[in-house]
Amino acid sequence: MTRTEDDVREAAAWLERLRSPEAGQGDQEEFETWVAHPRRRDAFEAVKAVDAEIASWDPPTPASPWPILGALALGAGGLMAAASLLIH
């Protein structure tokens, strides 16, 4: 059996539902009934694997504005120096 798109959507919803602070024993029991089907279990394992992969990524480091600001400052300084030569 091949998992369907609906299985994957439902698996993602279950993952979020079970992570919720409001999840209780009834949710877990309902999940166990849902996931008992092999196709659904496969979908849930696939969703968990993708979730774990995404969680392992390092957040991107924001680019520092200093190199750009430094270049602008040097450029502005160069323009000022050139202007002072033209004035004198």
CB-CB contact of 17 with 4 (8 Å): no
pLDDT given for residue 88 in this prediction: 44
pLDDT given for residue 80 in this prediction: 53
CB-CB contact of 35 with 41 (8 Å): yes
Element (H, E) at 63: none
CB-CB contact of 11 with 46 (8 Å): yes
pLDDT in tens, 7-28: 999 999 999 999 999 999 999 9
Give the residue among 46, 19, 21 at the shortest CA–CA distance from 31.
19
- What mean pLDDT is reported for the chain? 80
Place of tokens 């008992």: 36
Written as six digits, the tokens of 27 are: 């949710």
In the chain, the percentage of residues whose pLDDT exceeds 90 is 50
pLDDT in tens, 50-80: 989 888 887 766 666 556 555 555 555 544 5
